[in-house]
């Protein structure tokens, strides 16, 4: 029997993408706390730290949708090396400048690079994954982010030490090292996007309006859930060092706590498929957001370091659910030919949360205390749990009991069925849609 042709790409591209994302995200996760420590060494207060953290997301806020439009109608891969170069430049220059406004500006460049990389990478995963593989592939893709979030804070904590001038020097060193770490990602950016997949992208007569995309059922919920989850992760990364300073927790210990949270997120994504089978998408998303909200608010309590470590581990596991499932929700709900734009709108929501949440956290921390922002994030996550109860938009996933896919994402069709379809098709038509035997069928339906 003739073997089935393999029409889909293998999964080597996904592994290379995960490796590149791990280095890029590791550099960002290393640089974010280093920027906070360097800002503190330069005389910034809690409000200024929040503003600088918000600028990281401000510039990307205005370019996400245009980049998504461009990706919907072109290739995704060129955004990846561009993102790496911008991240590396932003990290290095943040460590070289000595003024708070300049640090904020280069932090924005770093955020722009991260946005370019993520839009390109997420669009590739959406484009090259079969519908029934999207949960799994997005979950594996986000493992790269979690690996970076695991290693980056540990490296930053190991490099950053001292007070005053020493803190300024060691945080600058951490930023320069993070620039080199990000540059390593370039070594994995080969044959990520398959030409056949890029050429087979949906052709549209014009741009799908943003209002239409946002009006699709499931898109707003996916955006808001992603915004709440990422804001919680972002505030943990940016403000746990400030909490550590107030509670006399060493930078190395803070780095270990952040990495523990990231390790728990990796563990969650490794078991994502069994969790989905056990609980279902809606129950898993709702439960994880609700529990994460309660734990995030609990960070505000003056607990001991071991208790805080347990809380952050469980919190990290819960936060690992929201991002991959929100990606799949948005991709499935978006109109054809506008999936990259929908993912860009999701990232715009993320960046909006990254602008508003740190700024609000800085104001609250300055007025009430450094632990208070975590209560605000807890409320947001509880609200996301309510959104998780709502139904999703249109779904393209294979129904339960459908035929499995091979390792390249091609759906398996039984030989007997394939032969029957092929035989029936060969009798009915030839290329061009004309009947094979023009004299065999002269009924009105055939147009004869």
Which domains, ranges and CATH numbers included, belong to the chain?
12-197+213-388 (1.20.1250.20)
The residue among 310, 319, 327, 329 whose CA lies nearest residue 378 is 319
Single pTM value for the model: 0.68
Q: Is the dihedral of CA 328, 298, 313, 108 positive or negative?
A: positive
Calpha distance 336→346 (Å, rounded)? 16
Q: For residue 399, what are its two tokens? A: 């129904």
313 half-sphere exposure, CB direction, 13 A CA radius: 9
Q: CA 408 → CA 22, 40, 269, distances in Å?
A: 23, 50, 21
**397 — alpha (psi -120 to 50), left (phi > 0) or beta?**
beta
3-state secondary structure of 198: helix
Listed as ranges, residues in the chain with pLDDT below 70 are: 1-11, 74, 162-165, 195-206, 354, 358, 365-371, 388-448
Q: What integer pLDDT is reported at residue 83 of this predicted model?
A: 92
Helix, strand, coil percent values for the chain (each to nearest 5): 75, 0, 25
Q: What integer pLDDT is reported at residue 249 of this predicted model?
A: 83
Q: What integer pLDDT is reported at residue 87 of this predicted model?
A: 95
Q: What integer pLDDT is reported at residue 84 of this predicted model?
A: 94
Calpha distance 293→298 (Å, rounded)? 9
Calpha distance 185→342 (Å, rounded)? 26
The residue among 385, 396, 382 whose CA lies nearest residue 335 is 396
Query: How confident is the model over 178-200, as pLDDT tens digits?
Result: 999 999 999 988 877 776 554 44
Q: What integer pLDDT is reported at residue 93 of this predicted model?
A: 92
Which DSSP string corresponds to 130-192? -GGGHHHHHHHHHHHHHHHHHHHHHHHHHH---STHHHHHHHHHHHHHHHHHHHGGGGG-SS-
Residue the block writes with tokens 């004869």: 448
Q: What integer pLDDT is reported at residue 206 of this predicted model?
A: 58
3-state secondary structure of 405: strand
Contacts for 375 with CB less than 8 Å, ≥ 6 apart: 297, 300
Q: What is the DSSP letter of 447?
A: T
Evaluate whether 326 touches 346 at the Cβ level (below 8 Å): yes
Contacts for 200 with CB less than 8 Å, ≥ 6 apart: none
Phi, psi angle pair for 411, to nearest 5°:
-70, 135
Residue 63 burial (10 A CB sphere; 0-12, 13-18, 19+): middle
Please report, in angstroms and rounded to a whole number, the separation of the first and last CA atoms in the chain.
38
Residue the block writes with tokens 């309590």: 301
Calpha distance 173→168 (Å, rounded)? 9
The residue among 72, 17, 265 whose CA lies nearest residue 151 is 265
Calpha distance 144→146 (Å, rounded)? 5
Evaluate whether 299 touches 308 at the Cβ level (below 8 Å): yes
């Amino acid at each position: 029997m003739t073997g089935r042709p393999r029409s889909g790409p293998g999964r080597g591209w996904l592994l290379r993408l995960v490796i590149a994302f791990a280095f890029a995200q590791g550099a960002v996760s290393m640089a974010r706390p280093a920027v906070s420590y360097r800002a503190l060494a330069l005389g910034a207060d809690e409000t200024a730290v929040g503003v600088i953290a918000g600028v990281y997301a401000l510039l990307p806020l205005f370019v996400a949708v245009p980049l998504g439009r461009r990706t919907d109608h072109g290739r995704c891969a060129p955004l990846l090396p561009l993102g790496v170069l911008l991240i590396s430049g932003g990290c290095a220059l943040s460590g070289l400048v000595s003024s708070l406004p300049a640090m904020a500006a280069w932090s924005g460049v770093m955020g722009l690079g991260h946005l370019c990389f993520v839009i390109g990478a997420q669009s590739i995963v959406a484009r090259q994954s079969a519908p029934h593989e999207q949960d799994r592939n997005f979950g594996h893709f986000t493992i790269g982010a979690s690996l970076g979030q695991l290693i980056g804070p540990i490296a930053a904590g190991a490099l950053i030490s001292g007070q005053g001038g020493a803190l300024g020097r060691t945080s600058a060193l951490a930023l320069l090292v993070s620039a080199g770490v990000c540059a390593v990602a370039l070594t994995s950016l080969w044959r990520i996007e398959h030409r056949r997949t890029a050429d087979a992208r949906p052709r549209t007569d014009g741009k799908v309006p943003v209002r239409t995309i946002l009006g699709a059922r499931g898109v707003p919920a996916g955006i808001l859930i992603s915004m709440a989850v990422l804001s919680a992760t972002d505030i943990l990364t940016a403000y746990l060092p400030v909490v550590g300073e107030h509670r006399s927790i060493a930078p190395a210990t803070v780095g270990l706590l952040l990495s523990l949270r990231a390790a728990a997120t990796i563990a969650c994504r490794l078991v994502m498929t069994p969790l989905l089978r056990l609980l279902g998408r809606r129950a898993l998303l709702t439960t994880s957001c609700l529990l994460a909200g309660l734990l995030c608010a609990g960070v505000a309590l003056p607990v001991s370091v071991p208790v805080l470590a347990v809380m952050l581990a469980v919190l990290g596991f819960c936060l690992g659910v929201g991002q991959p499932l929100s990606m799949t929700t948005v991709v499935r709900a978006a109109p054809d030919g506008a999936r990259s734009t929908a993912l860009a709108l999701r990232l715009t929501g993320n960046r909006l949360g990254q602008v508003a949440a740190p700024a609000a956290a800085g104001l609250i921390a300055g007025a009430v205390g450094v632990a208070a922002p975590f209560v605000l994030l807890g409320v947001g996550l509880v609200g996301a749990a309510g959104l998780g109860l709502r139904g999703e938009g249109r779904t393209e996933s294979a129904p339960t009991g459908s035929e499995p896919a091979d390792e390249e994402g091609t759906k398996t069709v039984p030989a007997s069925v394939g032969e029957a379809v092929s035989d029936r098709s060969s009798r009915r038509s030839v290329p061009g849609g004309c009947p094979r035997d023009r004299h065999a069928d002269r009924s009105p339906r055939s147009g004869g």
